[in-house]
Structure 1
């Protein structure tokens, strides 16, 4: 594995000819550019307008899909959901799937055979694999890439096994409903908390 930067990561996603398949395993991510949306979610406010970088992300997903390429993701879930995951399922994934990203979900309790999947990685066209590296406090540390055929083959096998066992996001929503956003604090409630 060799370290890569964000520009190279974006090139990998944009350069796929067939598919990218991401394993998203963590239940919480410390993502500073999502703090404002998380605060709005926590306070029961409406979803804020999308920022420029998120609009660009959604447009790049639409362009990949329009050209016949498949951005895919498997999201591992532990119930009850963390606040981060609930917000992601309520606000993030509906936008991503509307743009064309194929998101599938695995409930870890129902699939203990995937207990060893504890790191996020992406396979690109079955020709490269990239790890997202995180600190213990959920902060993103960076990215590492390999195109070693043996490493890639093993990660393709892992990713395809998870994809085959997972269910589409829309089916997950039908079964479980969309996570309920916290109610906005009431005036009386705020007063009681301050006293």
Structure 2
């Protein structure tokens, strides 16, 4: 499924959406300029964050949960520092609950390295990336067995993830926007 078609999925679930991220770096067109500004030590223009923050606010306004866990290698990659300091604070302010889980802990919990979205515990979208972290496509599936496994992984990740604010404080990271 193309990402543009997949984004419509965010308009038709009712109760909750969950995202498991497992890569240390992603190549997203919307992040390229902000990432270069971050690398150059320049301040961020927060306007690039507005479309996603508006989506999160709309989801929360209708009473649905929006949660994410990012599985990370430590020490953090440059991209993950960028994401945690320049993108995630806006997401969190909009109402997204974000947790960070070390890869070591994730492996012990049986949380494999598979990025996915989970909608209402009845549909999942596995994100397939190329070697450079660019999204290739999304594999949407409602197979009960696959969905149950993604629910299990979600519960394990959520139960063991460190909340973003605490993780950032412990890592000495400061929001940049």
- Give the TM-score normalised by structure 1: 0.83
1:167 correspondence with 2:145: no
- Please list every run of at least 4 consecutive aligned residues from structure 1 whose deviation after the TM superposition is greater than 4 angstroms: none
Tell me the secondary structure at the aligned position of residue 76 of structure 2: coil
Matched residue, 1:41: 38
**What are structure 2's unaligned runs of at least 5 residues?**
none
Give me the whole-angstrom Cα distance separating, in 1, the residues matched to 2:100 and 2:87: 14
Q: Identify if the C-alpha distance between structure 1 residues 105 and 113 changes in structure 2 by more than 3 Å, giving closer, same or farther.
A: same
Question: Secondary structure of the equivalent of 2:47?
Answer: coil
CA-based RMSD of the aligned residues comes to 1.8
Which residue among 128, 142, 149 is the counterpart of 2:137?
142
How many residue pairs match? The answer is 176
Is 1:127 the counterpart of 2:122? The answer is yes
- SS of 1:50's partner is helix
- Please, what TM-score do these two structures have when normalized by structure 2? 0.91
CA drift at 1:119:
1.6
For structure 1, the residue ranges without an aligned partner over 5 or more in a row are: 182-195
- Structure 1 contact 22–121 (Cα < 8 Å) conserved: yes
Contact 2:70 2:100 in 1 (8 A): yes
**1:105 aligned to 100, 105, 109, which one?**
100
Q: Give the number of the structure whose alpha-carbon radius of gyration is greater.
A: 1
Question: Is residue 86–residue 179 contact of structure 1 (8 Å, CA) maintained in 2?
Answer: no
